[in-house]
Amino acid sequence: MTKQLLSIPEAARVLAVPESWLRERVRLRRVPHRRLGKHVRFTAQDLEHIVEQAAQQVVPRRRTVRRWPAPG
């Protein structure tokens, strides 16, 4: 039962995000990860979950209608 564990730089490359983005989310405990001593590692399932989380957070922006004051 061997699972491949990825480091932060490796996982960031797979996810196509900056390492700093991934490190910050690990620090805030917003993404699933494993700690082996002081080392942070990710499984393939962790990466899939991160992608799913990101897809769920995309919400279309509401358009704001600007109303100018009536003259006079």
Q: Residue 2: its pLDDT value, please?
A: 62
> Per-residue confidence at 62, pLDDT binned at 50, 70, 90?
confident
Mean model confidence pLDDT for the chain? 90
The label of the residue with tokens 């990710």 reads 42
Looking from the CA of 59 toward its CB, the CA atoms found within 13 Å total 4
pTM of the model: 0.73
Q: Is 31 exposed, middle or buried (0-12, 13-18, 19+ CB in 10 A)?
A: buried
**In the predicted model, is pLDDT for residue 24 greater than 70?**
yes
> Per-residue confidence at 71, pLDDT binned at 50, 70, 90?
confident
